Amino acid sequence: MTAPLALWHSTAGNEARFAALIEALAPGIPVRHRTRPELLAAAQPELTPEVRRRVAIDILELVDQGAGAVLCTCSTLGPGAESAAELTSVPVLRVDRPMIEAALDRGPRITVAAALASTLGPTGDLLRRVARERGVVPEIREIVCEGAWTYQERGDAQGYSRAIAAAIRRALGPADAVVLAQASMAGAVELLADLGVPVLASPPLGVAAAVAAWRRAVAGGGA
């Protein structure tokens, strides 16, 4: 049996979203989901070392159970995935790094929008680290989409996306790119198509990176 690509989520809504992206990009890849909303709740108002450790242990359990690669789809808990990656030879990726790379390709002025303020720290830290690797000093502006998360909690995907888009339009200043810090925010991209600034979401870029890593690790590029 082929080792699956494991998707580690913190919200149940991401299961269908990421499954659809993988099916469109690479149909037939075996996929396993694990969802831990309690760890996202434990990371409010900020990610502590204890929660980061719990995330890493949970992801490493997927590796021990035979995953060929793991994609953490939660930006807030992404540092836990990085901790896990240091302890295994199996690829463990955080979903937002390819998005950050793509944003910095467009310039140093990056606006980070989040529906949960707790995501700003992990995303900002990653942005600064990637920029430092490139020898770039980023200009970071942060937008918290106040009230948007309540729509997500109610399962109102359209209301969630509209609230995010409205908040970004109100607060956006000069920017080379806007990054949506949480994978669940991806629905706002279409609503901001006329913004005049690239708006990037992590799911499609993160899935492409994860599928490539899985192929290298498990299928030797032949899947």
Mean model confidence pLDDT for the chain: 95
Q: What is the pLDDT of residues 163-214, one digit of tens each?
A: 999 999 999 999 999 999 999 999 999 999 999 999 999 999 999 999 999 9
Phi/psi region, residue 203 (left: phi>0; alpha: psi -120 to 50; beta: rest), is alpha
What is the pLDDT at residue 220? 63
Mean pLDDT confidence for 141-158: 96
Q: Which residues have C-beta within 8 Å of that of residue 32, sequence separation ≥ 6?
A: 4, 5, 6, 7, 62, 67
What is the pLDDT at residue 13? 87
Phi and psi at 94, nearest 5°, equal -100, 140
Distance separating alpha carbons of residues 187 and 132, to the nearest angstrom = 30
Distance separating alpha carbons of residues 9 and 77, to the nearest angstrom = 9
Distance separating alpha carbons of residues 58 and 43, to the nearest angstrom = 15
Q: What is the pLDDT of residues 6-59, one digit of tens each?
A: 999 999 989 999 999 999 999 999 999 999 999 999 999 999 999 999 999 999
- The domains of the chain, with CATH numbers, are 5-95+204-219 (3.40.50.1860), 97-202 (3.40.50.1860)
Q: How many CA atoms lie within 13 A of 189 on its CB side?
A: 17
| Per-residue pLDDT at 222 exceeds 50 | no
Strand partners, 32: 6
Instruction: List C-alpha distances in Å: 174 to 108, 132, 159, 177, 190.
Output: 11, 21, 26, 9, 20
What is the pLDDT at residue 42? 97
Q: Which amino acid is at 58?
A: D
Mean pLDDT confidence for 61-89: 97
Q: What is the pLDDT of residues 98-110, one digit of tens each?
A: 999 999 999 999 9
Q: How many CA atoms lie within 13 A of 49 on its CB side?
A: 0
What is the pLDDT at residue 221? 47
Mean pLDDT confidence for 129-146: 97
